[in-house]
């Protein structure tokens, strides 16, 4: 769920050190993909002849043509190696945003090596946690809420045919943090830094001196987000900006989150430049020395630091990608096992509405949650399965409610309107809700005239007890918090539109996270399972935009693997 996010770390020159850290991610709940699987077509006689020629020369071949015949059903056992079975170039397990974008990236950028790609999904719909609901004049999200319009994200949007449906928030919309009973704006540009009242003068000076390197040196061990920020930028930056930001992005505990894993770009600034400012200048210099290819002229040009969605909500993206992939996307297919054949290909067995089906593929990409991947991969590698089982996904609830406009406190209005992206709540401020997004202010046509729509997140690593609460109790908790901050205490009860509880919402990038990912990948490689790739938000990052960027990265890895084995 994209959070009350700020800007992109790709715009380092325009941001202060504090902004660089705060404006790095936009996801309350990530769009994790779910557990799924596909149908594989039979090759034609000419394709079989080509494959036989490849096998005889001990080289695996990538087939350019797409076959059209469905695979045979089995009685519960995989097809025998090579007999009457179809081989595709890649099976992507998981039809959430990561899996769909990997398939689209392969189709648009790497079709020569991966012409035949299948996406499989255990649910009866695509999109993973992306959930848009439209009813009674309201349009709301119950998973991710928005994304940062980076160039990779915009490329995916354009390639999906959604350029004309893209909507962008006001880049000048303020973001607020609750502190001492008042909503205080977060600085949106460097010129705001001297004037914003979220921090004291002493806190600002401490942050500035620390950013240029006047702070304790790195401790020599992997730091938590809290340790890194307190050491580099001081207590006020941590308590009033970064702690609520971690709650908003990861629904996490910054004393346990790894700085290197969760905010790697900022962590690397100090590593590369000796300080955050030094690393920023060095990054700018290196970027200026490197010639960039011209920007794709098809891409829109967002103004300022903004966030994006679509005319009918985020669900338009997975649905558009699925429509373009067509019969390459297979729903209600549950993966039961994977094995590697003597030919070097993988055999995947699925439970489907039509029975048990076996599929063969040169490569497999697992974009399902790590705990599901752990179970599937255990027969292949106990070490990989053990590593994947250790990631923690805390629960988060998305509570969408509506009030009449007159319910907003006068002091929270700007020019008579509720304006802004939303608000974040530090855990020290006596409210349970993690944060609130002003959905009807952020994007058009999200609520009927005279009404406001608020998307609230509650739960996370510091409050897993939400799982024991009823939907009514969650609405009451959110309403109680809002009446302390944003809503008039005597306002009428809100209209509760939707409550979605995600029992395992966001993978936590805890200390040691990257070591676990590396251990899982190494275990698969060391036991002979090259061509089996791990993807999804626990690998790429939890923001929707990072899932898309990670999809392009995984697609490039698959392409490289297949290109080395293509039959010339």
For 372-391, what is the mean pLDDT? 98
Superfamily of domain 88-129+314-390+508-567: FAD/NAD(P)-binding domain (3.50.50.60)
**Tens digit of pLDDT for each residue in 144-186?**
999 999 999 999 999 999 999 999 999 999 999 999 999 999 9
pLDDT band at 134 (very low <50, low <70, confident <90, very high): very high
Kindly tell me the number of DSSP H helices and DSSP E strands found in the chain: 19, 19
For 98-116, what is the mean pLDDT? 96
Report the mean per-residue pLDDT for the chain.
Answer: 87
Asked if pLDDT for residue 411 goes beyond 60, the answer is yes
CB neighbourhood size of 200 (10 A): 11
Domain with CATH 3.90.660.20 in the chain: 132-172+393-502
**CA 243, 507, 510 angle in degrees (round to 5)?**
60
Asked if pLDDT for residue 190 goes beyond 80, the answer is no
| Domain 132-172+393-502, CATH among 3.30.70.360, 3.90.660.20, 1.10.10.10, 3.40.50.2300 | 3.90.660.20
**Tens digit of pLDDT for each residue in 430-475?**
999 999 999 999 999 999 999 999 999 999 999 999 999 999 999 9
Asked if pLDDT for residue 4 goes beyond 80, the answer is no
For 495-505, what is the mean pLDDT? 98
Q: What pLDDT, on a 0 to 100 scale, did the predictor assign at position 566?
A: 55
Asked if pLDDT for residue 52 goes beyond 60, the answer is no
pLDDT band at 556 (very low <50, low <70, confident <90, very high): very high
Q: What pLDDT, on a 0 to 100 scale, did the predictor assign at position 195?
A: 80
For 120-149, what is the mean pLDDT? 97
Element containing residue 188 per DSSP (H, E): none
Query: In Å, how far are 4, 6, 142, 466, 495 from 456, measured between CA atoms?
Result: 11, 17, 10, 13, 13
User: pTM value?
Assistant: 0.86
For 260-285, what is the mean pLDDT? 96
Domain with CATH 3.50.50.60 in the chain: 88-129+314-390+508-567
CA–CA separation, 510 and 295 (whole Å):
35
Q: What pLDDT, on a 0 to 100 scale, did the predictor assign at position 64?
A: 28
Element containing residue 376 per DSSP (H, E): helix 370-377
Least confident of 23-32, 153-162, 164-173, 511-520: 23-32
Percent of the chain past pLDDT 70, that is, above it, reads: 85
For 85-103, what is the mean pLDDT? 93
Asked if pLDDT for residue 24 goes beyond 70, the answer is no
CA–CA separation, 123 and 450 (whole Å):
37
Of 32 and 367, which is predicted with more confidence?
A: 367
Residue indicated by tokens 């401020």: 429
3-state DSSP assignment of residue 535: coil
């Amino acid at each position: 769920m994209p959070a009350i996010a700020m800007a992109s770390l790709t715009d380092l020159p325009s941001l202060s050190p504090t902004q660089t850290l705060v404006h790095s991610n936009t996801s309350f709940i990530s769009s994790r993909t779910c557990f799924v699987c596909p149908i594989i077509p039979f090759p034609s006689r000419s394709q079989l002849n080509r494959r036989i020629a490849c096998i005889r020369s001990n080289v695996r071949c990538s087939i350019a043509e797409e076959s059209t015949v469905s695979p045979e059903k089995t009685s519960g056992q995989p097809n025998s190696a090579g007999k009457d079975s179809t081989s595709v170039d890649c099976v992507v397990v998981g039809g959430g945003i990561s899996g769909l974008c990997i398939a689209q990236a392969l189709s648009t950028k790497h079709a020569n090596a991966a012409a035949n790609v299948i996406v499989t999904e255990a649910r009866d719909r695509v999109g993973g946690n992306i959930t848009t609901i439209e009813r009674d004049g309201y349009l709301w999200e119950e998973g991710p809420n928005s994304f940062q319009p980076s160039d990779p994200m915009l490329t995916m949007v354009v390639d999906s045919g959604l350029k004309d449906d893209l909507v962008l928030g006001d880049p000048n919309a303020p973001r607020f943090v609750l502190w001492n009973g008042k909503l205080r704006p977060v600085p949106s540009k460097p010129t705001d830094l001297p004037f914003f009242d979220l921090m004291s003068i002493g806190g600002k000076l401490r942050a500035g001196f620390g950013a240029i390197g006047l702070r304790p040196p790195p401790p020599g061990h992997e730091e938590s987000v809290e340790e890194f920020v307190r050491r580099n930028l001081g207590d006020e930056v941590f308590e009033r900006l970064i702690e609520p930001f971690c709650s908003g992005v990861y629904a996490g505990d910054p004393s346990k989150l790894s700085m290197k894993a969760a905010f790697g770009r900022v962590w690397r600034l100090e590593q590369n430049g000796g300080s955050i400012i030094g690393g920023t200048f060095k990054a700018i210099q290196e970027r200026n020395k490197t010639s960039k290819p011209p920007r794709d002229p098809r891409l829109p040009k967002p103004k300022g630091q903004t966030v994006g969605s679509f005319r009918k909500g985020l669900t338009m993206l997975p649905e558009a990608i699925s429509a373009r992939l067509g019969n390459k996307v297979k729903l209600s297919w549950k993966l039961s096992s994977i094995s590697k054949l003597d030919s070097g290909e993988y055999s995947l067995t699925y439970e489907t509405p039509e029975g048990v089906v076996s599929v063969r593929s040169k490569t497999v990409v697992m974009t399902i949650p790590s705990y599901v991947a752990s179970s599937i991969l255990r027969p292949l590698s106990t070490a990989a399965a053990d590593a994947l089982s250790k990631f923690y996904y805390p629960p988060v609830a998305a509570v969408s409610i509506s009030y009449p406009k007159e319910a907003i406190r006068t002091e929270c209005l700007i020019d008579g309107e509720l304006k802004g992206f939303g608000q974040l709540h530090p855990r020290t401020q006596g409210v349970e809700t993690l944060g609130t997004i002003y959905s009807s202010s952020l994007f058009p046509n999200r609520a009927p005239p005279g009404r406001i729509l608020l998307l609230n997140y509650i739960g996370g690593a510091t409050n897993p007890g939400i799982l024991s609460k009823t939907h009514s109790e969650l609405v009451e908790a959110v309403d109680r918090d809002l009446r302390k901050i944003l809503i008039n205490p005597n306002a009428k009860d809100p209209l509760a539109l939707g409550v979605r509880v995600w029992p395992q919402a966001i993978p936590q990038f805890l200390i040691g996270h990257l070591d676990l990912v590396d251990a899982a990948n190494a275990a698969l490689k060391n036991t002979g399972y090259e061509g089996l790739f791990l993807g999804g938000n626990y690998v790429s990052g939890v923001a929707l935009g990072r899932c898309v960027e990670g999809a392009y990265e995984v697609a490039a890895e698959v392409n490289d693997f297949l290109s080395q084995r293509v039959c010339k």
